[in-house]
Structure 1
Protein backbone atom coordinates (compact mmCIF):
# COMPACT_ATOMS: atom_id res chain seq x y z
CA UNK A 1 0.00 0.00 0.00
CA UNK A 2 2.75 2.48 0.90
CA UNK A 3 4.54 1.92 -2.40
CA UNK A 4 1.28 2.58 -4.27
CA UNK A 5 0.74 5.78 -2.26
CA UNK A 6 4.29 6.95 -3.10
CA UNK A 7 3.59 6.30 -6.79
CA UNK A 8 0.26 8.15 -6.53
CA UNK A 9 1.97 11.12 -4.90
CA UNK A 10 4.53 11.17 -7.73
CA UNK A 11 1.64 11.07 -10.25
CA UNK A 12 0.28 14.21 -8.59
CA UNK A 13 3.68 15.91 -8.71
CA UNK A 14 4.12 15.68 -4.94
CA UNK A 15 1.02 17.83 -4.31
CA UNK A 16 -0.47 16.55 -1.03
CA UNK A 17 -3.28 19.10 -1.45
CA UNK A 18 -4.66 17.66 -4.69
CA UNK A 19 -8.19 16.36 -4.10
CA UNK A 20 -7.55 13.51 -6.52
CA UNK A 21 -4.64 12.41 -4.34
CA UNK A 22 -6.89 12.43 -1.26
CA UNK A 23 -9.32 10.16 -3.09
CA UNK A 24 -6.44 7.85 -4.05
CA UNK A 25 -5.33 7.65 -0.40
CA UNK A 26 -8.79 6.49 0.64
CA UNK A 27 -8.93 4.15 -2.37
CA UNK A 28 -5.58 2.55 -1.47
CA UNK A 29 -6.68 2.11 2.15
CA UNK A 30 -9.90 0.46 0.96
CA UNK A 31 -7.98 -1.96 -1.27
CA UNK A 32 -5.47 -2.70 1.51
CA UNK A 33 -8.17 -3.68 4.02
CA UNK A 34 -9.11 -6.63 1.80
CA UNK A 35 -5.65 -8.08 2.48
CA UNK A 36 -6.56 -8.59 6.14
CA UNK A 37 -7.50 -12.26 6.30
CA UNK A 38 -9.33 -12.33 9.61
CA UNK A 39 -12.84 -10.87 9.11
CA UNK A 40 -13.11 -9.81 12.75
CA UNK A 41 -9.93 -7.74 12.49
CA UNK A 42 -10.96 -6.41 9.05
CA UNK A 43 -14.37 -5.09 10.24
CA UNK A 44 -13.08 -1.98 12.07
CA UNK A 45 -10.88 -1.14 9.05
CA UNK A 46 -13.92 -1.57 6.79
CA UNK A 47 -15.92 0.78 8.98
CA UNK A 48 -13.09 3.33 8.89
CA UNK A 49 -12.86 2.96 5.10
CA UNK A 50 -16.58 3.66 4.67
CA UNK A 51 -16.34 6.78 6.85
CA UNK A 52 -13.26 8.00 4.95
CA UNK A 53 -14.88 7.16 1.58
CA UNK A 54 -17.99 9.19 2.40
CA UNK A 55 -15.86 12.06 3.75
CA UNK A 56 -13.72 12.13 0.62
CA UNK A 57 -16.84 11.98 -1.53
CA UNK A 58 -18.36 14.97 0.30
CA UNK A 59 -15.13 17.02 0.31
CA UNK A 60 -14.04 16.31 -3.25
CA UNK A 61 -17.19 15.40 -5.19
CA UNK A 62 -15.35 12.30 -6.46
CA UNK A 63 -16.71 8.77 -6.17
CA UNK A 64 -14.07 6.05 -6.70
CA UNK A 65 -15.00 2.78 -4.96
CA UNK A 66 -12.08 0.60 -3.88
CA UNK A 67 -13.53 -2.28 -5.93
CA UNK A 68 -12.48 -0.56 -9.18
CA UNK A 69 -9.15 -1.89 -10.49
CA UNK A 70 -6.95 1.04 -11.57
CA UNK A 71 -3.51 0.86 -13.14
CA UNK A 72 -0.38 2.81 -12.31
CA UNK A 73 -0.38 6.54 -13.01
CA UNK A 74 -4.17 6.88 -12.59
CA UNK A 75 -4.91 10.59 -12.21
CA UNK A 76 -8.03 12.55 -11.34
CA UNK A 77 -7.11 15.93 -12.76
CA UNK A 78 -9.86 18.22 -11.50
CA UNK A 79 -12.17 18.63 -8.56
CA UNK A 80 -15.71 17.37 -8.49
CA UNK A 81 -18.66 15.68 -10.07
CA UNK A 82 -16.78 12.48 -10.93
CA UNK A 83 -18.67 9.21 -10.58
CA UNK A 84 -17.04 5.86 -11.30
CA UNK A 85 -19.02 2.64 -11.05
CA UNK A 86 -17.61 -0.19 -8.97
CA UNK A 87 -17.93 -2.36 -12.10
CA UNK A 88 -15.50 -0.24 -14.17
CA UNK A 89 -11.78 -0.87 -14.65
CA UNK A 90 -8.82 1.26 -15.78
CA UNK A 91 -5.40 0.52 -17.28
CA UNK A 92 -2.20 2.48 -16.66
CA UNK A 93 -1.77 6.24 -17.10
CA UNK A 94 -5.43 7.24 -17.35
CA UNK A 95 -6.50 10.82 -16.74
CA UNK A 96 -10.01 11.85 -15.73
CA UNK A 97 -11.30 15.40 -15.58
CA UNK A 98 -14.27 16.98 -13.79
CA UNK A 99 -17.83 16.01 -14.57
CA UNK A 100 -16.95 12.52 -15.83
CA UNK A 101 -19.23 9.53 -15.31
CA UNK A 102 -18.00 6.00 -16.01
CA UNK A 103 -20.83 3.65 -15.26
CA UNK A 104 -23.85 1.56 -16.03
CA UNK A 105 -25.94 2.18 -19.15
CA UNK A 106 -29.02 0.85 -17.40
CA UNK A 107 -29.65 -0.42 -13.89
CA UNK A 108 -30.64 -3.92 -15.00
CA UNK A 109 -27.23 -4.69 -16.53
CA UNK A 110 -24.48 -4.53 -13.91
CA UNK A 111 -21.66 -3.81 -16.35
CA UNK A 112 -19.47 -0.75 -16.78
CA UNK A 113 -16.67 0.16 -19.21
CA UNK A 114 -13.26 -1.50 -19.23
CA UNK A 115 -10.84 1.31 -20.01
CA UNK A 116 -7.38 0.59 -21.44
CA UNK A 117 -4.06 2.32 -20.81
CA UNK A 118 -3.06 5.87 -21.79
CA UNK A 119 -6.64 7.09 -21.95
CA UNK A 120 -7.50 10.76 -21.50
CA UNK A 121 -11.12 11.52 -20.60
CA UNK A 122 -12.28 15.10 -21.15
CA UNK A 123 -14.44 17.16 -18.81
CA UNK A 124 -18.09 16.19 -18.72
CA UNK A 125 -17.68 12.94 -20.67
CA UNK A 126 -20.06 10.06 -20.01
CA UNK A 127 -18.86 6.53 -20.75
CA UNK A 128 -21.59 3.98 -20.16
CA UNK A 129 -22.35 0.29 -20.47
CA UNK A 130 -20.57 -2.96 -21.23
CA UNK A 131 -17.99 -1.46 -23.60
CA UNK A 132 -14.23 -1.45 -24.00
CA UNK A 133 -12.13 1.66 -24.45
CA UNK A 134 -8.84 0.73 -26.13
CA UNK A 135 -5.32 1.96 -25.42
CA UNK A 136 -4.13 5.43 -26.44
CA UNK A 137 -7.65 6.83 -26.69
CA UNK A 138 -8.81 10.41 -26.14
CA UNK A 139 -12.42 10.96 -25.10
CA UNK A 140 -13.51 14.51 -25.91
CA UNK A 141 -15.15 16.90 -23.46
CA UNK A 142 -18.87 16.19 -23.03
CA UNK A 143 -18.73 13.11 -25.27
CA UNK A 144 -21.32 10.42 -24.58
CA UNK A 145 -19.65 7.09 -25.34
CA UNK A 146 -22.04 4.13 -25.65
CA UNK A 147 -19.99 1.88 -27.95
CA UNK A 148 -16.53 0.36 -27.75
CA UNK A 149 -13.61 2.48 -28.93
CA UNK A 150 -10.60 0.80 -30.62
CA UNK A 151 -6.96 1.57 -29.82
CA UNK A 152 -5.48 4.86 -31.07
CA UNK A 153 -8.82 6.61 -31.53
CA UNK A 154 -10.75 9.71 -30.58
CA UNK A 155 -14.34 9.69 -29.34
CA UNK A 156 -16.16 13.00 -29.74
CA UNK A 157 -19.75 14.25 -29.73
CA UNK A 158 -23.17 13.16 -28.55
CA UNK A 159 -23.47 10.29 -29.18
CA UNK A 160 -19.74 9.86 -29.64
CA UNK A 161 -18.32 9.41 -33.11
CA UNK A 162 -15.20 7.28 -33.25
CA UNK A 163 -12.32 8.73 -35.27
CA UNK A 164 -8.80 7.40 -35.81
CA UNK A 165 -6.02 9.55 -34.39
CA UNK A 166 -4.12 11.20 -37.21
CA UNK A 167 -0.35 11.25 -37.29
CA UNK A 168 1.44 14.50 -37.96
CA UNK A 169 4.66 14.71 -40.01
CA UNK A 170 6.59 14.62 -36.70
CA UNK A 171 4.81 11.42 -35.71
CA UNK A 172 2.84 13.00 -32.89
CA UNK A 173 -0.87 12.26 -32.59
CA UNK A 174 -3.39 15.04 -32.86
Structure 2
Protein backbone atom coordinates (compact mmCIF):
# COMPACT_ATOMS: atom_id res chain seq x y z
CA UNK A 1 0.00 0.00 0.00
CA UNK A 2 2.69 2.50 0.95
CA UNK A 3 4.59 2.11 -2.33
CA UNK A 4 1.37 2.91 -4.20
CA UNK A 5 0.67 5.90 -1.94
CA UNK A 6 4.17 7.28 -2.56
CA UNK A 7 3.70 6.81 -6.31
CA UNK A 8 0.27 8.49 -6.17
CA UNK A 9 1.77 11.40 -4.21
CA UNK A 10 4.47 11.86 -6.85
CA UNK A 11 1.95 11.48 -9.70
CA UNK A 12 -0.15 14.29 -8.18
CA UNK A 13 2.82 16.67 -8.16
CA UNK A 14 3.76 16.03 -4.53
CA UNK A 15 0.78 18.15 -3.50
CA UNK A 16 -0.95 17.00 -0.30
CA UNK A 17 -3.78 19.42 -1.10
CA UNK A 18 -4.63 17.78 -4.42
CA UNK A 19 -8.14 16.36 -4.14
CA UNK A 20 -7.19 13.56 -6.51
CA UNK A 21 -4.48 12.50 -4.08
CA UNK A 22 -7.01 12.43 -1.22
CA UNK A 23 -9.22 10.13 -3.26
CA UNK A 24 -6.32 7.84 -4.10
CA UNK A 25 -5.22 7.72 -0.45
CA UNK A 26 -8.68 6.55 0.65
CA UNK A 27 -8.87 4.15 -2.33
CA UNK A 28 -5.50 2.55 -1.46
CA UNK A 29 -6.56 2.21 2.19
CA UNK A 30 -9.81 0.57 1.09
CA UNK A 31 -7.92 -1.98 -1.01
CA UNK A 32 -5.35 -2.61 1.73
CA UNK A 33 -7.97 -3.34 4.40
CA UNK A 34 -9.08 -6.47 2.53
CA UNK A 35 -5.83 -8.12 3.60
CA UNK A 36 -6.33 -7.55 7.33
CA UNK A 37 -6.72 -10.82 9.20
CA UNK A 38 -8.61 -11.85 11.28
CA UNK A 39 -11.97 -10.50 10.14
CA UNK A 40 -12.64 -9.05 13.60
CA UNK A 41 -9.76 -6.60 13.08
CA UNK A 42 -10.90 -5.83 9.54
CA UNK A 43 -14.34 -4.62 10.68
CA UNK A 44 -13.11 -1.33 12.29
CA UNK A 45 -10.92 -0.65 9.24
CA UNK A 46 -13.93 -1.22 6.98
CA UNK A 47 -16.01 1.21 9.02
CA UNK A 48 -13.22 3.80 8.85
CA UNK A 49 -12.97 3.27 5.06
CA UNK A 50 -16.71 3.80 4.59
CA UNK A 51 -16.59 7.05 6.58
CA UNK A 52 -13.51 8.32 4.72
CA UNK A 53 -14.98 7.28 1.34
CA UNK A 54 -18.17 9.24 1.95
CA UNK A 55 -16.24 12.26 3.31
CA UNK A 56 -13.94 12.36 0.28
CA UNK A 57 -16.92 11.87 -2.04
CA UNK A 58 -18.71 14.86 -0.47
CA UNK A 59 -15.60 17.10 -0.42
CA UNK A 60 -14.31 16.32 -3.91
CA UNK A 61 -17.27 15.09 -5.96
CA UNK A 62 -15.25 12.01 -6.92
CA UNK A 63 -16.60 8.49 -6.57
CA UNK A 64 -13.86 5.84 -6.81
CA UNK A 65 -14.85 2.71 -4.87
CA UNK A 66 -12.12 0.36 -3.71
CA UNK A 67 -13.73 -2.47 -5.71
CA UNK A 68 -12.48 -0.87 -8.94
CA UNK A 69 -9.00 -1.99 -10.00
CA UNK A 70 -6.60 0.90 -10.53
CA UNK A 71 -2.98 0.61 -11.63
CA UNK A 72 0.04 2.65 -10.60
CA UNK A 73 0.37 6.39 -11.24
CA UNK A 74 -3.38 6.93 -11.64
CA UNK A 75 -3.98 10.69 -11.79
CA UNK A 76 -7.23 12.52 -11.16
CA UNK A 77 -6.37 15.82 -12.80
CA UNK A 78 -9.33 17.99 -11.85
CA UNK A 79 -11.93 17.25 -9.25
CA UNK A 80 -15.70 17.19 -9.47
CA UNK A 81 -18.32 15.02 -11.09
CA UNK A 82 -16.12 11.94 -11.53
CA UNK A 83 -17.87 8.59 -11.18
CA UNK A 84 -16.08 5.26 -11.57
CA UNK A 85 -17.94 1.96 -11.31
CA UNK A 86 -16.65 -0.66 -8.92
CA UNK A 87 -16.50 -3.02 -11.92
CA UNK A 88 -14.05 -0.79 -13.85
CA UNK A 89 -10.39 -1.69 -14.40
CA UNK A 90 -7.57 0.75 -15.15
CA UNK A 91 -3.99 0.01 -16.19
CA UNK A 92 -0.91 2.00 -15.20
CA UNK A 93 -0.29 5.69 -15.93
CA UNK A 94 -3.92 6.64 -16.60
CA UNK A 95 -5.29 10.16 -16.22
CA UNK A 96 -8.89 11.30 -15.86
CA UNK A 97 -10.41 14.75 -15.56
CA UNK A 98 -13.57 16.35 -14.20
CA UNK A 99 -16.96 15.12 -15.33
CA UNK A 100 -15.74 11.69 -16.39
CA UNK A 101 -18.01 8.66 -15.98
CA UNK A 102 -16.60 5.15 -16.32
CA UNK A 103 -19.46 2.81 -15.68
CA UNK A 104 -22.27 0.51 -16.62
CA UNK A 105 -24.35 0.94 -19.74
CA UNK A 106 -27.32 -0.85 -18.13
CA UNK A 107 -28.01 -1.67 -14.49
CA UNK A 108 -28.89 -5.28 -15.33
CA UNK A 109 -25.51 -5.72 -17.08
CA UNK A 110 -22.80 -5.30 -14.41
CA UNK A 111 -19.89 -4.84 -16.81
CA UNK A 112 -17.78 -1.70 -16.88
CA UNK A 113 -14.89 -0.64 -19.13
CA UNK A 114 -11.45 -2.20 -18.95
CA UNK A 115 -8.86 0.48 -19.65
CA UNK A 116 -5.27 -0.22 -20.66
CA UNK A 117 -2.01 1.55 -19.78
CA UNK A 118 -1.18 5.17 -20.65
CA UNK A 119 -4.78 6.22 -21.29
CA UNK A 120 -5.71 9.92 -21.10
CA UNK A 121 -9.44 10.60 -20.62
CA UNK A 122 -10.62 14.15 -21.36
CA UNK A 123 -13.06 16.22 -19.31
CA UNK A 124 -16.68 15.15 -19.50
CA UNK A 125 -16.00 11.87 -21.32
CA UNK A 126 -18.32 8.94 -20.74
CA UNK A 127 -17.09 5.34 -21.13
CA UNK A 128 -19.96 2.92 -20.71
CA UNK A 129 -20.51 -0.81 -20.82
CA UNK A 130 -18.32 -3.88 -21.33
CA UNK A 131 -15.74 -2.19 -23.56
CA UNK A 132 -11.97 -2.51 -23.77
CA UNK A 133 -9.74 0.51 -24.25
CA UNK A 134 -6.24 -0.36 -25.45
CA UNK A 135 -2.89 1.09 -24.40
CA UNK A 136 -1.75 4.61 -25.40
CA UNK A 137 -5.26 5.88 -26.12
CA UNK A 138 -6.59 9.43 -25.85
CA UNK A 139 -10.30 9.90 -25.19
CA UNK A 140 -11.38 13.39 -26.19
CA UNK A 141 -13.34 15.78 -24.01
CA UNK A 142 -17.08 14.99 -23.88
CA UNK A 143 -16.66 11.85 -25.98
CA UNK A 144 -19.20 9.07 -25.42
CA UNK A 145 -17.41 5.74 -25.88
CA UNK A 146 -19.66 2.69 -26.27
CA UNK A 147 -17.38 0.41 -28.34
CA UNK A 148 -13.90 -1.02 -27.99
CA UNK A 149 -10.98 1.33 -28.70
CA UNK A 150 -7.83 -0.33 -30.08
CA UNK A 151 -4.36 0.58 -28.82
CA UNK A 152 -2.70 3.75 -30.15
CA UNK A 153 -6.01 5.40 -31.05
CA UNK A 154 -8.01 8.54 -30.41
CA UNK A 155 -11.74 8.49 -29.60
CA UNK A 156 -13.63 11.75 -30.17
CA UNK A 157 -17.24 12.84 -30.52
CA UNK A 158 -20.73 11.68 -29.63
CA UNK A 159 -20.91 8.77 -30.21
CA UNK A 160 -17.14 8.41 -30.32
CA UNK A 161 -15.39 8.05 -33.65
CA UNK A 162 -12.17 6.09 -33.36
CA UNK A 163 -9.10 7.14 -35.33
CA UNK A 164 -5.54 5.85 -35.22
CA UNK A 165 -2.97 8.15 -33.61
CA UNK A 166 -0.33 9.51 -35.95
CA UNK A 167 3.05 7.83 -35.43
CA UNK A 168 4.94 11.14 -35.46
CA UNK A 169 2.67 12.39 -32.67
CA UNK A 170 3.85 9.51 -30.49
CA UNK A 171 7.58 10.11 -30.99
CA UNK A 172 9.21 11.76 -28.01
CA UNK A 173 5.99 11.91 -26.03
CA UNK A 174 6.07 10.39 -22.58
CA UNK A 175 2.62 9.05 -21.82
Aligned pairs (5 A) from 1:3-152: 3-152=3-152
Query: Which aligned runs of 4 or more in structure 1 are off by greater than 3 angstroms?
Result: 169-173
2:111 & 2:77 partners in 1: Cα distance? 25
1:169 & 1:115 partners in 2: Cα distance? 21
1:171 & 1:101 partners in 2: Cα distance? 30
Bigger CA drift: 2-11 or 160-169? 160-169
In the TM superposition, what whole-angstrom CA distance separates every residue of 1:39-88 from its partner, at most 9, and x where no partner exists?
11101110010000000000000000011111111000001100000000
Q: CA RMSD in A?
A: 1.3
Distance 1:96 1:170, change over 3 A: closer
1:15 & 1:24 partners in 2: Cα distance? 13
Instruction: Give structure 1 stretches of 5+ with no counterpart.
Output: none
Deviation at 1:3, TM superposition (A): 1.6
1:170 & 1:21 partners in 2: Cα distance? 28
> If the length of structure 2 is used for normalisation, what is the TM-score?
0.96
In the TM superposition, what whole-angstrom CA distance separates every residue of 1:72-128 from its partner, at most 9, and x where no partner exists?
110000011000000000000000000000000000100000000000000000000
What secondary structure does 1:83 align onto?
A: strand
1:71 & 1:2 partners in 2: Cα distance? 14
1:92 & 1:70 partners in 2: Cα distance? 7
Aligned residues: 173
Instruction: Give structure 2 stretches of 5+ with no counterpart.
Output: none
What secondary structure does 1:163 align onto?
A: strand
